[in-house]
Amino acid sequence: MVSALGMTAVLGGCGLTGDSGDVTLRLVAADYGDSAANSSEKYWSELVETYEADHPGVKIEVSVHSWNDVDRKVKEMVEAGDAPDMAQIGAYADYADAGLLYPADELLSIPVQADFAGQFATAGQIDGTQYGMPFAASTRLLFYNKTLFAEAGLTPPTTWEELAADAAALKAEGVKYPYALPLGPEEAQAETMQWLLSGGGGYTDSSGGYGIDSPENVETFTWLRDELVGKGLTGPVAPGRLNRADAFAAFANGQVGMLNGHPSLMKIAENKGVKFGMVPMPGVDGESKATMGVADWMLAFRQNGHKEEVGEFLDFVYSDENVLGFSREYDLLPVTNSAYEVMSAADEDKALQPFLEELPLAELYPVGRTSWAQVAAEVKKRIGQAVAPGGSPSAVLGKLQTTALDAESTADADR
């Protein structure tokens, strides 16, 4: 979901309010494109043009920023006392906790709010009230290089033991990265969560609190250290220094046997002519019972008012036509039940079918916690040490658990 673009564009309405009865709504949005040809500017420009034609008293001003910049841009606007009416970004909890956001039920019509997939609606809640409106989603699958697997006489793994055996066979064939394990600072929290879930654990425990240093999680990272990294099955770059983008590029160059990937990797690999397959993440004793899901969020700030106009516009944004259009343009998964049903049955969405099948099983980051951003940053910084030679998974995960509990205590004290 990270755009290669650094551009900013302003679309629609020209920022002017026109007649005294007109309302201008400002939306700051993230760019999901990887070139000027498919920048999100194009998507929003067409959507805004259609909406304004039917709502002559409302102008929509959209500024599109790369994923490298968009969260910071919104933060700066809010801190300057100039919050946008809406922001489509990666997190919502801090703003909701500070009382800056409208709840979804004050904005959306009942059918629109009720159409959100259950796990995403729940993930958008704080204390039972939904402030984060899911906008786009993805899940993860294990990608494997069909050519390399055929040359080594392998079938895709369904268990950790099979994954390690396949990786060993690929190494024997001279594959550079038998299993690419990106635990570098770009997105280590994602690879980490996928492995934790496959080992029967996760960032949180059954009571909903942080459980980062649970026995299941320690066992998972001990296995990774000993059975993959320690046996030289993860390639020449230490996992703590391997970023996701580099791992994806290596896969597209035919240098990776297996890695966890999201839907955008399909296009990257296809463009380089790599023949690949996708299967659910293996678990300890069989296919993992849960997969990682990621959602990006739409927020509506209270500062400027315009609750009615914002709600009407968001009802339009979440119409089936627009949810389907956005999901198909960027190979993402829909966040509404109705669009999910359409895509699950449509031939044109056949390539996304494996990811769609995983969506009901998807578990999300604990994004409703204001502490999560700090915890994720610490995971990115530290988790690679857990699988390094001589590394201690229990010590590293214990430090992360302490960080999480301290961050929770600070957040509670600030309320």
> How sure is the predictor about 18, in pLDDT bands with cuts at 50, 70 and 90?
very low
Domains contained in the chain, number: 2
pLDDT digits (tens, 9 = 90+) for 357-410: 999 889 999 998 889 988 998 999 999 999 999 999 999 999 999 999 998 887
pLDDT at 288 over 90: no
How much is the pLDDT for 408? 86
Is residue 269 located within the same domain as residue 387? yes
Q: Are strands 133-139 and 129-130 parallel, antiparallel or unpaired?
A: unpaired
CA distance 12 to 275: 41
332 in Cβ contact with 137 (< 8 Å): yes
pLDDT at res. 4: 33
Task: Give DSSP secondary structure letters for 239-254.
Answer: GGG--HHHHHHHHHTT
Domain span at residue 240 reads: 141-280+369-414
The answer, yes or no, to whether residue 19 has pLDDT greater than 50, is no
Instruction: Tell me, yes or no, whether 261 and 375 share the same domain.
Output: yes
| Structure confidence by residue, pLDDT tens digits, 227-275 | 999 999 999 999 999 999 999 999 999 999 999 999 989 989 999 999 9
Is 354 contained in some domain? yes
Which pLDDT does position 223 carry in this prediction? 98
Per-residue confidence at 96, pLDDT binned at 50, 70, 90? very high
Q: What is the pTM of this model?
A: 0.85
Position 412 scores a pLDDT of: 66
Q: Residue 72 falls within a domain, yes or no?
A: yes
Rounded to the nearest integer, the mean pLDDT of the chain is 91
- Residues of the chain with pLDDT > 90, as a percent, come to 80
Out of 322, 346, 364, pick the residue that ends a domain.
364
Q: What is the CA radius of gyration of the chain?
A: 22
What pLDDT does residue 13 have? 42
Residue 95 makes CB contacts below 8 A (sequence gap 6+) with 78, 101, 131, 299, 301
Measure the CA–CA gap between 5 and 323, rounded to whole angstroms.
23
| Residue that is written with structure tokens 């400002």 in the block | 26
Q: What is the CATH number of the domain that holds 70?
A: 3.40.190.10
Position 287 in a domain: no
Q: Could you give the CA distance from residue 38 to residue 53 in angstroms, rounded to a whole number?
A: 23
Which is nearest to 196 in space by CA: 395, 370, 363?
363
The answer on 263 and 215 residing in a single domain is yes
Q: pLDDT at position 7, please? A: 39
Residues 330 and 410 in one domain: no
Say whether both 254 and 273 belong to one domain. Answer: yes
Tell whether 3 is covered by a domain. Answer: no
248 lies in the same domain as 100: no
- Whether residue 289 is contained in a domain is answered as no
Residue 89 lies in a domain: yes
* pLDDT of res. 257: 98
| HSE value, Cβ hemisphere, 13 Å, CA-based, for 163 | 30
Domain shared by 197 and 313, yes or no: no
Distance from C-alpha of 159 to C-alpha of 177, rounded to nearest angstrom: 19
Amino acid (one-letter) located at 265: L
The answer to whether residues 162 and 231 belong to one domain is: yes
Q: Same structural domain for residues 335 and 402? A: no
- 181 with 271, same domain: the answer is yes
Residue 150 pLDDT level (bands cut at 50, 70, 90): very high
- Three-state secondary structure along 118-136? HHHHHHCEECCEECCEEEE
Same domain (yes/no): 271, 301: no
Provide φ and ψ at 56, rounded to 5°. -60, -20
Residue 2 lies in a domain: no
CA-CA distance, 251 to 314, in Å (whole number)? 38
β-sheet bridge partners, residue 210: 204
Query: Are 239 and 328 in a shared domain?
Result: no
DSSP 372-407: HHHHHHHHHHHGGGGGSTT--HHHHHHHHHHHHHHH
pLDDT one-digit tens code per residue, 106-142: 999 999 999 999 999 999 999 899 999 999 999 999 9
Residue 288 lies in a domain: no
